[in-house]
Structure 1
């Protein structure tokens, strides 16, 4: 198994919450890699504009993983002048890492099923692997576009992914914490505390910067 694999999880992280962090840490441990990279998007292509600036979202991710060596912040999309297209991120990683290093992108099943609407999504597997986190017992419809893609490219173990640079889809059952960024924003907007939904340093940052409609 390659310890040099680049494994990442992208997202708006608006704001980052404990569900993101727990999923990332569990996936890092399950894959047996040294670290997992969190890549905040600059301007999400598939979502509404975030509730705060890209610099603020990046800082919250930094604060959230401070002291956890298994999770690392990657600023490439925030610093890029290009749109946050996943294809561009994968192309950049492949150019940077070379042809032999496994690249693994982690995504939820909900996002996986929307891939046909993503920019040049058919090229993703030529550049890396997809690791799809699904809730226990969930099954893709066999006659769906993604069901067919999964059948053609499915891997049976992390070892299979980490022994080659690209081309595989690995499904992994995981029960995520029932937390969403929308829930966090709504909790803050209603004047309630989001503590234990997000890391304390992130909550402190939100208060200091009066984000998500927070006022003194």
Structure 2
């Protein structure tokens, strides 16, 4: 398959989008020479609390964060739909929109992989995509080991010259930034935490809009 037929999929709450998201996605995009990656913010995650930022604020922060990345597009499907966001439904929507000849590379962090068995129709998600798992610092290794054991039949140790297969799980080694959206929200008045974890222009926008301290 031509590399141009691969489409990266990177979903999340992005509440807010931080350097960990940006640097990880940039690293994977460059490492795999991807020509198109869809960043898909969700409105209601089944496995997380409700977002603080509105849909419009998320879109704006993502546009600011990825303004210099020509390969990255923002897909707002999950923000527009009612109810919780399920990746299986998003993939089915993209299948119809982009055509079945496209090969989706679903990019997730190691933390998400640890709970991947809780995703709706997770086995079908694997069949529809190549699952790319990025390492993340500060996690309990035993949970990753358990997840690997659970999905053992799908694990591939190598991907050659970007030769990805649907129904397989690959581990992508990057140099991850430990930034956390939760830590940023909980320390919204600590300028050092914000400067360390957020893109300068994203920080400027969220402070101007008072997204996480609207009671001030």
TM-score > 0.5 by shorter chain: yes
Unaligned runs of 5+ in 1: none
* Distance apart, 1:155 and its partner CA: 5.4
* Distance apart, 1:68 and its partner CA: 2.1
Task: Determine the C-alpha separation between the residues in 1 that align with 2:179 and 2:147.
Answer: 29
Alignment of structure 1 residues 88-103 onto 2, 5 Å: 88-103=89-104
Task: Determine the C-alpha separation between the residues in 1 that align with 2:168 and 2:91.
Answer: 14
Asked if the contact 2:195–2:203 (Cα under 8 Å) also holds between the matched residues in 1, the reply is yes
Equivalent residue for 2:22? 21
TM-score between both structures, scaled by the size of structure 2: 0.87
Equivalent residue for 1:72? 73
Q: What SS does structure 1 have at the residue aligned with 2:15?
A: coil
Alignment of structure 1 residues 182-201 onto 2, 5 Å: 182-188=182-188, 190-192=189-191, 194-201=194-201
* Distance apart, 1:153 and its partner CA: 4.3
Task: Determine the C-alpha separation between the residues in 2 that align with 1:131 and 1:176.
Answer: 15
Task: Determine the C-alpha separation between the residues in 1 that align with 2:156 and 2:204.
Answer: 42
Q: 2:154 aligns with which of 152, 158, 161?
A: 152
* Distance apart, 1:72 and its partner CA: 2.1
Equivalent residue for 1:2? 3
TM-score between both structures, scaled by the size of structure 1: 0.87
Alignment of structure 1 residues 30-69 onto 2, 5 Å: 30-69=31-70
* Distance apart, 1:71 and its partner CA: 2.4
Asked if the contact 2:154–2:167 (Cα under 8 Å) also holds between the matched residues in 1, the reply is no
Moved more, 150-159 or 63-72: 150-159
Q: Deviations over 1:49-90 (max 9, x none)?
A: 112212211211111111221322121211223531011011
Q: Deviations over 1:129-155 (max 9, x none)?
A: 11011259x6843xx354242443425
Alignment of structure 1 residues 107-186 onto 2, 5 Å: 107-135=108-136, 140-141=144-145, 144=146, 146-154=148-156, 156-157=158-159, 159-161=162-164, 164=165, 166-186=166-186
Poorly superposed stretches of 4+, deviation over 3 Å: 150-153
Task: Determine the C-alpha separation between the residues in 1 that align with 2:93 and 2:99.
Answer: 10
Task: Determine the C-alpha separation between the residues in 1 that align with 2:207 and 2:147.
Answer: 44
Moved more, 66-75 or 18-27: 66-75
Asked if the contact 2:136–2:178 (Cα under 8 Å) also holds between the matched residues in 1, the reply is no
RMSD: 2.2
Unaligned runs of 5+ in 2: none
Q: What SS does structure 1 have at the residue aligned with 2:23?
A: helix
